[in-house]
Chains A and B, each alone.
Chain A
Amino acid sequence: GAVVSQHPSWVICKSGTSVKIECRSLDFQATTMFWYRQFPKQSLMLMATSNEGSKATYEQGVEKDKFLINHASLTLSTLTVTSAHPEDSSFYICSARGQGGSYEQYFGPGTRLTVT
């Protein structure tokens, strides 16, 4: 099956710093990638949708200047959390959808971000 990786799997950073999370589709080309955030014991909340080569579409309430998304190639999307605060501590999960009209999304293993 299709594999999506995320790096790093966990990261601890100090308040005020920026953190970049990578999402890669390993064996397929992903025209669309999605970024989700999940707080403990809660569901996944979609943050933004990114299409290769174009600007990301952010969900209502998500600050695009704080969560920078770059989908520079068909196999890589990055999420940068800028000026991180403790309330940004969460589990960030990406997913990727391939070409060809398939509706199936393949999820990465997630990145645990802790801001101290």
Chain B
Amino acid sequence: SQQGEEDPQALSIQEGENATMNCSYKTSINNLQWYRQNSGRGLVHLILIRSNEREKHSGRLRVTLDTSKKSSSLLITASRAADTASYFCATDGSGANSKLTFGKGITLSVRP
């Protein structure tokens, strides 16, 4: 069953603008990860944030995690046309048998 719920489901912005995507989840987690998928391709791991972290940066990406609200956000700054893709959040539970549970995904379109 899916746990993550991203919003919005689709986002269209102009190149150079920032894109903010949100993810909410239901159960406790060990970490939360964001992935990108270009149409018809595999997943690219973007960033992992652990449950004891509140914010993490990687290049133009900024991820926040609020465990009290069970939510995370992914901010892409100064977007580029090449950022056009689907973005998924995935939650990872605790323990050796943990597995990723993906949200429904957000389709981001960056207009040149």
Q: Which residues on A are within 8 Å of B, measured CB to CB? A: 6, 34, 42-46, 49, 91, 93, 95, 103-110, 112
For A110, list chain B residues within 8 Å (CB): 40-42
Chain B: interface size category: 20 to 34
In Å, the complex CA distance between A109 and B44 comes to 9
Question: Other than the known A34-B99, A108-B42, A110-B40, what 14 A-B pairs have Cβ atoms closer than 8 Å?
Answer: A42-B104, A42-B105, A43-B105, A44-B43, A44-B102, A46-B102, A91-B40, A95-B100, A103-B98, A104-B45, A104-B48, A105-B45, A107-B42, A107-B44
Quick check: B99 and A109 within 8 Å, CB to CB? no
B90 → chain A closest CB, angstroms: 8
**B31, B40, B42 — which one has the most chain A CB atoms within 10 A of its CB?**
B42
Q: In the complex, how many residue pairs between chain A and chain B have their CB atoms under 8 Å apart?
A: 50
A103 and B30 in contact (CB under 8 A), knowing A44-B88, A44-B102?
yes
- Contact among A43, A46, A103, A108 for B88, CB-based, below 8 A: A43
**A43, A95, A104, A107 — which one has the most chain B CB atoms within 10 A of its CB?**
A43
Quick check: A103 and B42 within 8 Å, CB to CB? no
B26 → chain A closest CB, angstroms: 15
A109 and B102 in contact (CB under 8 A), knowing A43-B88, A44-B88, A103-B48?
no
Could you pull out 30 A-B pairs where Cβ atoms are within 8 angstroms? A6-B42, A34-B99, A34-B100, A42-B104, A42-B105, A43-B88, A43-B103, A43-B105, A44-B43, A44-B88, A45-B2, A46-B99, A46-B101, A49-B99, A93-B42, A93-B43, A95-B43, A103-B31, A103-B48, A103-B92, A103-B98, A104-B33, A104-B48, A105-B100, A107-B35, A107-B42, A107-B45, A109-B41, A109-B42, A110-B40
